[in-house]
Amino acid sequence: MKAKSRIRRLRLVPACFALALAVCAQGWGQTIIYVNADAPSGGDGTNWASAYRHPLDALSEANGFPEPRNVQIWIVRGTYMLDGGLIPNGTGVHEPGSGGGGFNMTAGIGMYGGLVGTEEALSDRTLPIPDANLTVLSGDKDNNDVVFSLVSASPPASFWGGTYADNDGPVVQIQGGDCTLDGLLIRGGKSGTVGGGVHVNGHHSTIVRCTLYANYAAGAVQHGQFGFPQHGGGGLAISAVHDCTVLNSVFVGNWAGGGAGGAVSIFQPRSLAGLDERAGGLFVNCLFVGNWASEGGGVSLYSSWKNPNPEGAGRIDASIRQLHIHPK
């Protein structure tokens, strides 16, 4: 069956020719792709009735659109693993996956959770998102992670073995500018380098109303010769010359195994030293609870090798682009 076209044809008349040129210059307008784990198989994502069952299918389509993109992926409550597995909200039964390499986003894509499958606009969502409407993106492929205490002085052993042996990450990889994560619980990511939950590698990304829970990053050496800990960012890593705005979000129970920044790591790799523009973040009305790291259990900041001797608690370097953490 031929897939439905998502692009409206433009009929040009002289009176609106200039407007049409402006529209073409900015891309083809906004596209919405629908995802619902409870939907029947075979959907094409064009509406709720024919929704895709997994965000990986929606991302495969969205990433193939020409730039500039303006794509929103609306995801119904349920749990979606990065290997294509899922747990529909309706059945609660784990359906194992067999592939996928994480939720990889290129420029101009947003993923929105907390939906129930009847919304006609994002404003139709119930906010704050209730537990019953949680949309979960998970690195726990076998769905066997255990809940652990957040009051422990050290992270649980399960992070580096046991139930985390099957986990993978980053759960979400942002590889282009102007991406959005909104209304998602991101958990169980395990990265051998940085950003177990989310790795931001693009300009002007936004994370809003999200919870990053129980994610792990082993760390990546960038400043080893100076005796500094590795970069980590168990929950979130912002790297290179990129930036991210994080609003009304929670970082809980994340760990940087051999590095700094249990919840968040913001850093500039050695290869980009000397650039005037550096990684940065704006955090507004965010909560950091029970995160672990060798240094900076909450947030760790490094700029670049331009200044290899950062000063102050949490390794805050005056040459970093920007970091603001303040209440609403």
The dihedral built from the CA positions of residue 117, 118, 119 and 124, taken in this order, carries a sign that is negative
| Tens digit of each residue's pLDDT (9 = 90 or more) over 255-270 | 887 777 889 988 765 4
Residue 221 confidence class, pLDDT cut points 50, 70, 90: low
More confident residue, 306 or 92: 92
More confident residue, 220 or 317: 220
| Tens digit of each residue's pLDDT (9 = 90 or more) over 89-144 | 988 999 999 877 899 999 999 999 999 999 999 999 999 999 999 999 999 999 98
Q: Are residues 90 and 150 in the same domain?
A: no
Can you give the pLDDT at residue 153? 53
pTM, two decimals, is: 0.81
Can you give the pLDDT at residue 126? 95
Q: Are residues 183 and 51 in the same domain?
A: no
Q: Select from 128, 160, 195 the last residue of a domain.
A: 128
Q: How far is Cα of residue 252 from the mean position of the Cα atoms in its chain?
A: 15
The gap between the terminal CA atoms of the chain, to the nearest Å, is 50
Residue type for position 73: I
Does the residue 10 lie in any domain?
A: no
Q: Are residues 280 and 216 in the same domain?
A: yes
Q: Are residues 68 and 143 in the same domain?
A: no
| Tens digit of each residue's pLDDT (9 = 90 or more) over 230-255 | 678 899 998 865 678 899 999 998 98
| Tens digit of each residue's pLDDT (9 = 90 or more) over 163-199 | 778 899 999 999 988 999 999 999 999 998 889 999 9
Q: Where are the beta strands (DSSP E) in 133-268?
A: 135-138, 172-174, 180-182, 185-187, 190-191, 198-200, 205-208, 211-213, 216-217, 230-231, 236-239, 243-247, 250-252, 255-260, 264-267
Q: Are residues 63 and 162 in the same domain?
A: no
Range of the domain at 262: 139-328
- Number of domain units in the chain: 2
More confident residue, 285 or 76: 76
pLDDT reading at 9 higher than 50: no
